[in-house]
Structure formats: C-alpha cells, structure tokens
Amino acid sequence: TSGIVETIGDKLIQKLLADGFRVTLRPHTQTIKLSRHRVDEILKKYKENPLFNFDSDMSSQISFDESDLMISDWSGAAFEYAFGLNKPVLFIDLPRKINNLEYLKIKAVPLEVKLRSEVGAIMSLGELENISDKINNLLLNYDKERQITMRNKVVFNLMNADKVSAKKLQEIINGNV
C-alpha cells in the first residue's frame, strides 16, 4: 500500500512535532493490518513525545473532536471529517488508490477528486518542508460558512437520512417503487 503512514509517515510526524504541532496518528484499520511494522516503528520513535498521540480506537470520536485539522491522502474519512465536523483537511497528493480500473469509462469526475480542494488544500510531496506554513494558512483562512454551503450541496438529507432511508426501504419492501 502507498498511504501516508507507509510513504512519508515518519518524516511528516517528525516535521510536525519539531514545529510544535500536536500530532495524533489515527491510521486506517487496513494500514494497521497490512503495515503494522511501519506503525510500530512510528510508535516506538514518538511514544515518549508529549505532543504525540496514537489513536487506534476507530469507534471513538474524541481525536476528531479535539483536532483542528486532518491530514489525509485519498481517504473517504477526510470528507466525513470535513462535512461532519466542519473542519479543514490538508490532502497530501500521493498517488490515487484505484480499485476499479474501469472507472474511466464513467464520464464523471469522482467526488473524492472534485472536492479535495473545496474542503481544504492539496499539498504535493515536494512541499513537505513547508507543511507548517500550509497548515497555519489553511487554519487562518478556513471559511466555515462556505464549507457549510458546499456541504449542503453534496450531502443529502442531512440530519434526516435515517428517516428518508427507512421510508424508501419500506416503499421497496411494499413494492411501491
């Protein structure tokens, strides 16, 4: 795999900690499963640093709530974070994870591609030395109202999806579709 933890995780965490940021590493469960050695290397190196925290509890919302910003690559969790918590995301521009090689047959830009720059900022690997400036600029200029407006355009039935879904399922069960 070629996510942040596997490619630049150590270098990224080292840079952020050196610049005084509080860092919480919350890897995807597949990252822990498939790249446990990389996660363990990072934990061994930074576990004593008071600015470093490791969160492996995927059922917990605490690290999301306490954070100001998420750093991600192509994770769908970044959009849940941005739209659910109204907080910015800094996307590290790693190569895309493509599970369906036939996606090009669909003549539409995937939502994950289209919205990345809308929910935060995109940073190339070559800009890693300037990540602190990028983070500070993103936090300083983040427009929560614009984010809410955009969220309302792309997330349907906000705060009401359970009722709408249940009604639609009942219609399907009853053969009314």
Q: Is the CA virtual torsion 30, 11, 110, 168 positive or negative?
A: positive
Tell me: the pLDDT tens digits for 104-152?
788 777 777 777 888 889 999 899 999 999 999 999 998 888 888 878 8
Tell me: the pLDDT tens digits for 61-115?
889 999 999 999 988 889 889 988 999 999 999 887 777 777 778 877 777 777 7
Angle at 75 between CA 71 and CA 78, to 5 degrees: 55
| Global confidence as pTM | 0.82
